[in-house]
Chains A and B, each alone.
Chain A
Amino acid sequence: MTTNDQLLQSEAEDREAQLILRARDFWGALVLLSLSVFFLWRTSFIPLWGENRAGVKGGDWYNSAALVPLGIFSAMLVLSLVLLRISVREGGAEQALTAVGIGWNRAEALRFSTLAVILFFYIAGLVPRVDFILCSGLLITALIYGYHGGKAARMVLAAAVVGVAGLYAMTLNLPRSEWAQHDDDWLVLTLWIALTAWVLWRERGSRLARVIPVIAIFAPTLLVCAMAFGFRQNVPNRGGLIFKQIEYHYYVTLKPFWSGK
């Protein structure tokens, strides 16, 4: 291929990428437009013209709490219309209704959705309800094993394991009053051991198999201990299965021993 051909090919690729971007901009502009209208409507709930509030006359229009938000959402409405116009003019709207047009990539979609599942269940399901060392150990094992080789089956397995653990915790211990229950801790521990055993078996002899359990055990343990005992900060789920024991032995066994009591 000559340099000229390469240049032409690169130009064609740039044009295609630009069209995909404009197709995405088309949808982005529509979302922004809807959000602007929604929030302009919500802003109308805030008194603008100095209405009475609990019998007290509010301020004038110029110090109303609605003034700046009104400007922000109006500006966003205008800019989203400008973006919509640009995307339509540059061919984004024509491409926007096809999967190819918006640059849909099946492998990338799978990678993102499995990651979204893992992160969602870790933050919303596990961190509030399960011991931080256990859920973070499971997360680290699942993420490294699932995404290191770029294999789709591994990503699905990683998402399934974290998803099952998170779903169980959210379903059975949803209200805050039940966050201290330990059944989900035991499930996470079982899943973590099972996944680690699977990794060790499938990747036997590889460096990855040796590294994953070490990082998964030590990183969250060191972090949570540094945060709780070094910086004396609040850490998630202090009553968790493992951390409760660490905290007990820190204050009952280690501290008196250090202070010579």
Chain B
Amino acid sequence: MDFVFSQLAGFGSAFAALVVDPLTYVYLVTSVFLGITFGALPGLTATLAVTILTGFFGNKIPLDYSMIALLGAYVGAIYGGSYPSILLNIPGTAASAATAMDGHPLAKAGRGGEALGLTTTASFIGTLIGTVALLIFVWVLLLISKNIASPEKALLALFGILLSGTLMSEDLVIKGWIAGLIGLAMAMVGMDPLLSEPRYTFGWSYMLSGFQVVPVLMGAFAVPQIIEGMRHVQVGKMVALQGRILPNLAAVRRHMPTITRSGVIGTGVGALPGVGEDVAGWVSYGVGKTVSKDGKNFGKGSLEGLLSSETANNACIGGALIPLLVLGIPGSPPAAALMGAFKINNVIPGPTIDPAIILRVVAIMVLASFTMWILGLFTARVFIKILRIPQTVFLPVVMVLTAIGSFSVGGGINDLYLMLGVGFVAYFMNLMKYPIAPLVIGVILGGLFDETFRRALFLSDGSLGVFVSRPGAAVLLALNVALVAAQIPMIRRPFQRRDKKEA
């Protein structure tokens, strides 16, 4: 109990420090507004919002304001995706794909205002659930993580890449793994972290410091999006918004069990390394369909269905920050962009992170979710107007933003070449249905994996036994092996046969 009180006291003082600073509100309102706009515009994603703002705010303003801007945009963008899902039947972000299933039928039935109001409130509560989980679990895990040494860190990094590759693949799972390996390979460029041996620099001095994270993020997420979006698309017929947006408190209370369940699911999925808000939305939607009394109406305009996905994708944010802050392993693609922002500010997330930063992150999340709720309820009609802007008009501006953001972080023109190169590769990977998230996570975790894997072997004089003799490492190794083995047809077949028999 003392632990909970001390946590609450720490959070209270961080919260008060933010609340009394007028600049907090400037960054908060601007970033949440920008985030909702990015989320609402089909073709722009939450990852892109955080990535572009990393280029802008990453290391130019004090870390606190930078975190407000990035977390505000993250929370806003995940929520903003619900607007086009409900009104246009086009998900604004992948995280809101499940929202369209019930949101659009509701809007067509003249309940668009009610759907938007409840979605806004559910997203707010979902973010709070994720944030509370972050406040509690991050400390429990931080205590455990003090015992994590090089073997565990190496296996955790590998697990993050493998899991992200497995769950984010739209087509074959090995494509996700290949994407992760490409990311890992990119992280090998430059001086190696232990012996300062130059690797794959091809005599180019720029390559000695390795690939910078921000240009890679910009290239991987922004450039393919711009290339893909620069096409003439007839904007779908928008359903006129009917009914009041301010939600009925009784309705919120009635749906509280669904909101709570989805919040918990979203947080749990978010805490898995490398798995994003889209997976959280679908998992929660699937669970909701199975357990809800209204399950048969899912997909036909069910409020429960709508709230299942919308609460979970916002709750996922808090969950995704848990592995990021505790282990330095991003829980979702936008969290990978956040990791990039931490890195360029010389903050290394992981067991050695300054506890005050965690408390400030939690306080910012609470303020950001509250700002999102207020903006969502009272300025919804502004965002609906924004929906009408064609992507061929705003994407060229995004390209200029990407170029200047990428240039200013490193201050060199070579970063722009890197961004463009990564962008074209990522576009072709998208075309062949390779997921991009594992690639980015591979780039971010590659250095950690390389260093800790070799350090573990160094400390054990080259004995591979170090990966099984420590209980934590043994469990992680087993998880890695199981993840790979589960995809091998020879191993899968007996299980599939047994499942068929049971069916």
Contact = CB atoms under 8 A, between A and B. Distances in A.
Interface of A: 21, 24-25, 28, 32, 39, 42, 46-47, 58-65, 67-69, 72-73, 75-76, 79-80, 82-83, 86, 111-112, 115-116, 119-120, 122-124, 127-128, 132, 136, 139-140, 143-144, 147-150, 211, 215, 219-220, 223-224, 227, 231-236
B68 to A, nearest CB: 15
B462 A62 contact: yes
Interface in B391-443: 392-393, 395-397, 399-401, 403-404, 407-408, 411, 413, 416-417, 419-420, 423-424, 431-433
B204 interface: no
A28 B230 contact: no
Contact of A111 (B197, B231, B407, B454): B231
Nearest to B412: A234
Contact of A79 (B56, B177, B423, B424): B177
Contact of A115 (B182, B227, B453): B227
A145 to B, nearest CB: 9
Residue among A65, A75, A211, A236 with the highest chain B CB neighbour number at 10 A: A65
B338 interface: no
A163 B461 CA distance: 57
Across the A-B interface, the 9 shortest Cβ-Cβ residue pairs: A150-B232, A62-B462, A65-B197, A65-B192, A143-B396, A62-B457, A231-B60, A233-B408, A148-B392
Interface in B66-82: none
A127 B416 contact: yes
Contact of B400 (A67, A116, A136, A147): A136
B408 A119 contact: no
B375 interface: no
Given A120-B420, A233-B60, A233-B408, A147 B392 contact: yes
Contact of B197 (A47, A72, A236): A47
A130 B60 CA distance: 25
A148 B200 contact: no
Nearest to A120: B420
Contacts of A220: 400
A119 B392 contact: no
Interface of B: 56-57, 60-61, 171-172, 174-175, 177-178, 181-182, 184-185, 188, 192, 194-195, 197, 199-200, 223, 226-227, 230-232, 390, 392-393, 395-397, 399-401, 403-404, 407-408, 411, 413, 416-417, 419-420, 423-424, 431-433, 449-450, 453-455, 457-458, 461-462
Contact of A68 (B392, B403, B454): B454
B457 A63 contact: yes
Given A42-B200, A63-B458, A234-B411, A140 B420 contact: no
Contact of B417 (A21, A123, A150, A224): A123
Contact of B172 (A39, A83, A231): A83
A59 B401 contact: no
Given A24-B432, A61-B462, A233-B60, A83 B231 contact: no
Contacts of A120: 420
B181 A75 contact: yes
Contacts of B57: 231
A69 B458 CA distance: 17
B33 to A, nearest CB: 16
Contacts of A148: 232, 390, 392-393
A59 B458 CA distance: 9
A72 B185 CA distance: 7
A82 B60 contact: no
Contacts of A144: 392-393, 396
Contacts, number: 165
5 contacts: A69-B200, A86-B174, A115-B227, A127-B413, A215-B393
B214 to A, nearest CB: 13
A211 B56 contact: no
Contacts of A73: 185
B420 A124 contact: yes
Nearest to B195: A65
Contacts of B413: 127-128, 236
A180 to B, nearest CB: 13
B404 A227 contact: yes
B400 A140 contact: yes
A234 B408 contact: yes
Contact of B185 (A21, A69, A80): A69
B404 A236 contact: yes
Given A62-B461, A236-B404, 20 more contacts: A28-B432, A58-B195, A62-B454, A63-B194, A63-B457, A65-B194, A68-B184, A75-B177, A76-B182, A83-B172, A83-B178, A119-B399, A122-B403, A123-B420, A127-B416, A143-B395, A143-B399, A231-B60, A231-B61, A232-B60
Contacts of B172: 25, 83, 86
A21 B197 contact: no
B424 A116 contact: yes
Contacts of A227: 56, 404, 408
A119 B413 CA distance: 14
A139 B432 contact: no
Contact of B403 (A115, A127, A147): A127
Nearest to B174: A79
Nearest to A108: B231
Contacts of A25: 172, 432
A132 B396 CA distance: 14
Contacts of B56: 227, 231
